[in-house]
Chain A
Amino acid sequence: MKFLFYLILVLLLVPFQTTLLPHLSVWNIKPDLGLVAAALIGLFAGELEGLLVGLTIGWILSLFSAGELWLSLLTNGGVGLLTGFLGRQVSQVTSFSLGGVLLLVSLASGLFAAMNFKGLDMAQMWWMVESIVFPQACFDGAVGAGFYWLLSRRFDLTRLRTD
């Protein structure tokens, strides 16, 4: 049942991310739903499932992007692992703290990607950080926090987490 849920999630993420989200983008910036999904799965299902599902999401999304495979794998897999640890070690995970983690991971990933771009001078790199990386990190953090808040309103997260 869980496997089926993950399969459907991964299959639907691609069209949502590539076809529908461009319509919902703000200043041409769209959130990374793969990152948010991996973080939530890590938080609720533990570090191993978070890592494995995050890696799968990262791999499949990289097939539909011009970006580097390694960065997508590390970012999505890493966030699943990290939130898995966070869920076990931190007694109170709030939508605010999850949003903060997502913001930092997205920011780190964006900075790595910007440094990996060939031929960018400092001005161009700063422009990229200012207009793409930072807004996207904020967007990812806000969407992650929003999803967590919605889930917490709908479900008893303590029971969901311990189950």
Chain B
Amino acid sequence: MWMAHSSSPYGARRIALACFALLLVTLFLFPAQIQGLSQYLGGPVGYVVRVPLEAIASIDAGIADRWEQYVALQGVREENQRLRKEMEWLRGQQSQLRESAAATERLTTLLRFKEQALPTMVAAQVIGRDATNRYRALILNKGESDGIRPDMGVVTPAGVVGRVVKTTEASSVVLLVTDSNNAIAGLIQRTRDEGIVEGTQQGLAQLKYIPLLSTLRDGDRVVTSGLVGDFPRGLMIGTITHIDKQEGALFQSAELMPEVDVGRVEEVLVIQTSYGQSLKAGSGADPREKPSP
């Protein structure tokens, strides 16, 4: 494996060095403009890249389906999948019903009850995972042309999946609830204490900034608070598995087991209109799709 010295093209070398230096200067001086330009140019590129991406994703899904149907125990597997989906749906329903019951109780005492409006959602398919190992993210087959924008919430019938962070015309990137860069406003369903749900390095989630006087315990369910961000109130996030209360600390925190198995998500719903916006829009809000089992 010997390599010969080729004639040194100083011109090309100088151009390469100048380009790299220019890039460095531009990136440090105009980061927002570069990001904007990348986003603008990335829109049409998303359409082009989506073609091989969807083709390979469908081949991948086809192979996975065949494997599951013919190699593994066919009947049991199908039934298991159906029951799991049904269970996820029922869990989501149960969580929302509990939340609705609690809300009804509180709001009827105030005599100002308004019927909860369903958010507008769009269904999307997962066609890939983050290109790097440092972030926990999913790639969806829908983007700006389908009305998806950064910061929109992403859910399944079982609960919260994450938040859209990047979009092209034809695809979008969802940062998962288990990523440490993600933060969602959460609420302990039983005690009504609020906190911030963040991902952990180990791929779980934690509820931070819980008041010291909170009487939370293992097994308590954490749902979205609906106060901040694009999630309506009452969507299941996870269950508390461990409480961390340190002496002298101003708050306590708790480890959560996320409700959605983010490693196996195949289809998701992107919340296009938040709960607050739906209420403002009144009953004219026309949900495109609703969660179905």
A pairs with B? yes
A residues bordering B, Cβ < 8 Å?
A: 11-12, 14-20, 22-23, 28-30, 32, 34, 46-48, 50-52, 55, 59-67, 69-70, 73-74, 77-78, 81, 84-85, 87-88, 90-95, 110, 113-114, 117-120, 124, 127-128, 131-133, 136, 152, 157-158, 161-162
Are B173 and A14 interface neighbours, CB within 8 A?
no
Beyond A18-B131, A65-B132, A65-B173, is A81–B20 a contact (Cβ under 8 Å)? yes
| Known contacts A62-B38, A65-B137, A157 near B130 by CB under 8 Å | no
Partner of B4, one of A61, A95, A114, A162: A162
Quick check: is B1 within 8 A (CB to CB) of the other chain? yes
Contact present for B128 and A19 (CB under 8 Å): yes
A15 nearest in chain B by CB position: B56
Kindly specify which of B41-49, B212-220, B223-231, B272-280 makes contact with the partner chain. B41-49
- List residues of chain A with CB within 8 A of the CB of B1: 92-95, 152, 157
The complex places the Cα of A91 from the Cα of B134 at a distance, in Å, of 35
Query: CA of A85 to CA of B3 in the docked complex: distance in angstroms?
Result: 13
Collect the chain A residues with CB atoms within 8 Å of residue B168's CB: 63
**What are 21 A-B pairs at a CB distance below 8 A?**
A11-B52, A15-B128, A16-B56, A19-B56, A22-B128, A46-B9, A51-B16, A51-B19, A61-B131, A63-B42, A65-B130, A65-B131, A66-B137, A67-B130, A69-B38, A70-B34, A88-B5, A118-B181, A132-B133, A136-B133, A162-B4
Distance in angstroms from A100 CB to nearest chain B CB is: 14
Q: Is A11's CB under 8 angstroms from B49's CB?
A: yes
Q: Mark B26-48, 1 if CB is under 8 A from A, else 0.
A: 01000100110010001001101
Number of interface residues of B (CB under 8 A): 54
Hey, which chain B residues are within 8 Å of A62, CB to CB?
38, 131
Shortest C-beta distance, A94 to chain B (Å), equals 5
List B contacts of A14 (CB < 8 A).
Answer: 49, 52-53, 128, 131
Whole-angstrom CA separation of A162 from B24 in the bound complex: 30
Inter-subunit contact A18/B5 (CB<8 Å): no
Q: How far is the CA of A12 from the CA of B53 in the complex (A)?
A: 8
Give complex CA distance A52, B46 in Å: 20
Set of chain B residues within 8 Å of A65, measured between Cβ atoms: 130-132, 135, 137, 166, 173
Do residues B3 and A158 form an inter-chain contact, with CB atoms below 8 A? yes
A25 to chain B, nearest CB (A): 8
A8 to chain B, nearest CB (A): 9
Residues of B within 8 A of A61 (CB): 131-132
B194 part of interface (Cβ distance < 8 Å): no
Q: Chain A residues near B134 (CB, 8 Å)? A: 67, 110, 113-114, 128, 132-133
Which one of B3, B23, B46 lies within 8 Å of A63 (CB-CB)? B46
Q: Which residues of B contact A69 (CB under 8 A)?
A: 34-35, 38
Q: Smallest CB–CB gap between A92 and chain B, Å?
A: 6
Q: When chains A and B are docked, how far (Å) is the Cα of A16 from the Cα of B45?
A: 17
Please report the C-alpha to C-alpha distance between residue A158 and residue B134 in the assembled complex, in whole angstroms.
Answer: 37
Q: A49–B255 Cα gap in the complex (Å)? A: 48
Residues from chain A with a CB closer than 8 A to the CB of B5 are 88, 91
**In the complex, B15 has a CB within 8 A of chain A:** yes
